[in-house]
Every structure is written in structure tokens, then in C-alpha cells.
Amino acid sequence: MNWFTGKKILVPLDFGEESCRAIDTALEIANTAADVHIIHVATDLAVSSPEVIWEVHSDEIRRKNLEKTFRKKFADDKYRELQFFVAFGDPGHGIADYAEQTATDLIVMPSHGRTGLKRLLVGSVTERVIRLAHCPVLVLRQ
């Protein structure tokens, strides 16, 4: 018997090992009864970035490259039903906004375990998602 009775799980993906493992955890929780959505929130390029100056990378090109990377990394048959979405902007807000817009029942994401000064300087996407999300957030320890 599965404890999760919702219909939609969201996993933020930064293509790191921990977020890839979070996808497997979400699939275990979903157990064919729920849809698993994956979101990657790409930060906006700085106005002074070479890509912007030379107009090499539009958001659409970046989106297509990320989708291609996702499909290549998750080519195994068990990932076939995953729905991948790309957003641009602040990751914390982008994840929480997507979860609300899609009526997500649970967000599954890793904690990168940053503490002290490093967390203060870097910030914590996980912490922002917990504060902003309308639904429960399952934080996976490393």
C-alpha cells in the first residue's frame, strides 16, 4: 500500500546526482497512480553575457537544448512517462509557481545540505520552495 494518494508529483531538476535520484524516489512514490513532472528552472542570462550580446542563445534555443539533454540522460524506458518542463527566472519562485499552476500534490527535491556562511551567500532553493509552495515538499537528505 502506498501512502501517497495524490495525482501529481513535481521534481525540480538541476541535472546533478541528487536531483536525478529524487526522480527515482518520486517514481517509487507515484507507483503508476500519479503523474511525475520534472521542472528545470534556468536562470535568466545577464544582459552583459556574451550569449545575449551576440544573440546566440534565445530562451527557445536554451529550452530545446535542455529538453535534448533531459531526453538523452533519461532515455531508459522507466522514464518514458515523465513530463519535462523548462522555465526561466528565479528557481525557487519558478518551481513554486509551476507547482501551483499545475495543481501539484507533492514536490520531491534534494537538500544540498549547505549551512552557515555558504548557505547565507549561496541561498537555498529548497528553503524558498518550502516557504512558497502551496503543497507539501518532501526534502531528501543526501
pTM over 0.75: yes
Cβ neighbours of residue 62 closer than 8 Å, sequence gap 6 or more: 42, 86, 88
8-140 CATH pick, 2.10.109.10, 3.40.50.300, 3.40.50.720, 3.40.50.620: 3.40.50.620
Top pLDDT among 48 and 93 is at: 93
Percent of the chain with pLDDT over 90: 67
Amino acid 82: pLDDT: 96
| pLDDT tens figures, 122-132 | 448 999 999 99
Between residues 32 and 89, which one has the greater pLDDT? 89
pLDDT of residue 111: 86
% of the chain exceeding 70 in pLDDT: 82
- Res. 121 pLDDT band, cuts 50 70 90: very low
- Closest C-alpha to 23, from 6, 35, 33, 5: 35
Region 70-92: mean pLDDT is 95
For the chain, what are the domain ranges? 8-140
Three-class SS state of 40? strand
Q: Give the helix, strand, coil percentages of the chain, each rounded to 5.
A: 45, 20, 35
pLDDT the model gives residue 48 = 55
At 31, list the grid cell: 507507483
